[in-house]
């Protein structure tokens, strides 16, 4: 005699089963959101997110689309193929080092930060006051501005890698979306390895610096066409709106060095 406690092949599951599956889907969704905001999980962000998403997809197909109850053979083939695809995806991400998304440029030796700091002055400085008729020539600017510019570039590189405290925690930041050769391995947004050169060709009459600055301030408007991984709506103004003017200047100064 057939076991009445188990659903027959082709039969619908009970409402209690649907409720249990829905509860599991809610838990998996909460875990996906938690992965986005837990810094300790950043190194394995993509594999974890992939596994959780695939688990939800599998549950929906098996229960809500009745594959589990319509054909056991198809169920095993589906689950086996899905597990194989996940395993291959994780192996490929490991081989191409997609997993490494967050790095501190001050601790990594791959990229040298431009960190020129003005020396501290401990001795008193005598200021000469010119006479009334004496003309005062402006100070030479070539070398005097170099430390300030270098410091701005270093600050911009650090902002690119780590979201500033005033912006708050960001699940997706510059380095997790964009790729810069030797520094960041993001595969969601466009490659910025040569952005200082590319930006100058994207809008007629607009310089590279203007384009980069405007694309930070209004990312929804400045979505390049014909550029790989440039997707409208992926980067929004909400991500960069917390940056101060000084931080935007620093980020632009750094990106302008990527020729």
Full domain range(s) for residue 27: 15-95
Q: What is the CATH number of the domain that holds 159?
A: 1.10.760.10
Which of 49, 21, 14 lies closest to 35, judged by CA? 49
Residue 177 lies in a domain: yes
User: pLDDT tens digits, residue range 87-138?
Assistant: 887 777 666 654 444 444 444 444 444 444 444 555 555 555 655 555 555 5
Shared domain for 160 and 248, answered yes or no, is yes
pTM for this prediction: 0.43
What's the CA gap between 96 and 181, in Å, rounded?
13
Gyration radius (Cα) of the chain, Å: 27
User: pLDDT tens digits, residue range 50-59?
Assistant: 788 888 888 8
Number of domains in the chain: 2
Find where tokens 């890698």 sit: 161
Q: Which of 30-39, 128-137, 204-213, 227-236 has the lowest mean pLDDT?
A: 128-137
Residue 138 lies in a domain: no
What's the CA gap between 245 and 243, in Å, rounded?
7
pLDDT at 31: 83
SS3 246: helix
Shared domain for 242 and 156, answered yes or no, is yes
Residue 134 lies in a domain: no
CA distances from 190 to 111, 128, 162, 176, 178 (A): 20, 53, 18, 11, 6
Is the pLDDT score of 161 beyond 70? Answer: yes
User: pLDDT tens digits, residue range 212-224?
Assistant: 888 888 877 777 7
Shared domain for 89 and 153, answered yes or no, is no
pLDDT at 50: 78
């Amino acid at each position: 005699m057939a076991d009445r406690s188990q659903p027959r092949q082709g039969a619908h599951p009970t409402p209690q089963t649907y409720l249990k599956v829905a509860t599991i889907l809610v838990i998996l969704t909460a875990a996906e959101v938690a992965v986005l905001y837990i810094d300790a999980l950043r190194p394995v962000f993509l594999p974890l997110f992939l596994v959780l998403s695939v688990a939800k997809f599998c549950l929906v197909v098996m229960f809500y689309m009745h594959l589990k109850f319509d054909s056991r053979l198809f169920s095993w083939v589906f689950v086996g193929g899905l597990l194989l695809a996940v395993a291959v995806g994780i192996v490929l991400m490991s081989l191409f080092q997609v997993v490494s998304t967050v790095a501190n440029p001050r601790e990594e030796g791959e990229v040298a930060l431009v960190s020129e700091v003005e020396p501290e002055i401990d001795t008193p400085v005598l200021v000469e006051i010119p006479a009334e008729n004496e003309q005062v020539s402006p100070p030479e600017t070539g070398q005097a501005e170099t430390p300030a510019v270098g410091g701005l570039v270093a600050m911009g590189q650090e902002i690119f890698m780590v979201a500033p405290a005033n912006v708050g925690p960001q699940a997706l930041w510059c380095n997790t979306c964009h790729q810069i050769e030797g520094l960041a391995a993001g595969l969601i947004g466009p490659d910025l390895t040569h952005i200082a050169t590319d930006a100058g060709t994207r809008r007629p009459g607009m310089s590279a610096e203007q384009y980069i600055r405007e694309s930070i301030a209004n990312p929804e408007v400045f979505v390049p066409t014909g550029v790989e991984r440039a997707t409208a709506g992926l980067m929004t103004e909400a991500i960069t709106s917390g940056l101060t003017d000084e931080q935007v200047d620093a980020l632009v100064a750094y990106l302008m060095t990527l020729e």
